[in-house]
Amino acid sequence: MYNNQFWGNLPDGRPADIITLTSSAGAVAEVSNFGGIIRSLTIPMPDGTCRSVVLGYPTLAEYVADTCYHGATIGPYANRIRGGRFTLDGVCYTLEQNEGNNSLHSGSSGWQHDLFDYEADGEALVLKRRSPDGEGGFPGNVDCTIRFFWQDPMTFAISYHAETDKATILSMTNHSYFNLGGDDTILTHTLQIHADGYTPVDAELLPTGEIAPVAGTAFDFCAMRPVAQAYDHNFARTGGSGPAATLVSSDGKLQMDVCTDKPGVQLYTGEFLSAPFAPYGGLCLETQHFPDTPNIPAFPSAVVRPGEAYAFTTTFGFSVL
């Protein structure tokens, strides 16, 4: 079921809406055309209750003021770019430096801060936006389409598609903070990430360029184990047809499988969340290209050229245990 309603006005007066997508099992997603935000995601439980599994604010004003990217669709480039610059085809492009000397999540002109056009496609929500050449320092007129839908009664999907008229870089993701219930924090959730390697970072949380093995380290989530501590790190996926990551609630009653065809999964455990949320109140599993990929040739390329389509899908499949 698809239903849209007015949510509120942005500071410039433009109206933003909330679109509700309900699966045949009664699972419900609330998505806004402002920032492609997933405001709410609720899963029906056997006892007749519905469990909220993402952190969300009640009002649009709180999202406008938010600095933690709650539920937002990040674009054109998620994560960090060193020095706020990159070189492509011999041209140096300068981006906003919004985290020290570096660019994080494309800066203040990132797509998560703007209003998308939208339409229904059956029971799916389709968001559309054109990013003009030079916006935020990124090259190319980029036409982006993001589709939110229930792939099956308990699997929520986000499909991304973009095309450009000039060589550019793209790495989109969704920045929802998940807490599957059963505890106030996610530190006692159990997690498995299908990744043999991770990208070590320096003091600025930027990758050193190495892909290091996880075996024998605190980054080894090859087997299910408690989250236990703070992370803000990218994992290099093993590949294959199975889930990229599996998360289980602290009470062991709900599981989420994350599937994607992107090379990286950024695990962020919400260490710096603040009121009304608690530190470690939710974690992100951001499917994307590696951080700072445009400046590290050894990483899988994030370059998209005219005539090529940037396209991938991430699904969040829920199972009651």
Distance separating alpha carbons of residues 169 and 54, to the nearest angstrom: 29
Q: How many CB atoms lie within 10 A of CB 117?
A: 11
Count H helices, E strands: the chain? 1, 27
- Paired with 9 in beta bridges are 15
The pLDDT, as a whole number, for residue 291 is 98
The pLDDT, as a whole number, for residue 183 is 85
| Arithmetic mean of pLDDT, 169-186 | 95
Q: Choose the catalytic residue: 175, 189, 194, 289.
A: 175
| Arithmetic mean of pLDDT, 3-7 | 97
Report residue 66's pLDDT band, with 50, 70 and 90 as the boundaries: very high
The pLDDT, as a whole number, for residue 92 is 98
Q: Enter the DSSP assignment of 219.
A: T
54 close to 60: Cβ distance less than 8 angstroms: no
Q: Any catalytic annotation for residue 175?
A: yes
Q: In the predicted model, is pLDDT for residue 278 greater than 90? A: yes
pTM of the model: 0.97
Contacts of 15 (CB under 8 A, 6+ apart): 6, 7, 8, 9
The pLDDT, as a whole number, for residue 33 is 98
Q: Choose the catalytic residue: 30, 135, 163, 286.
A: 286
Q: Any catalytic annotation for residue 62?
A: no
Distance separating alpha carbons of residues 154 and 234, to the nearest angstrom: 27
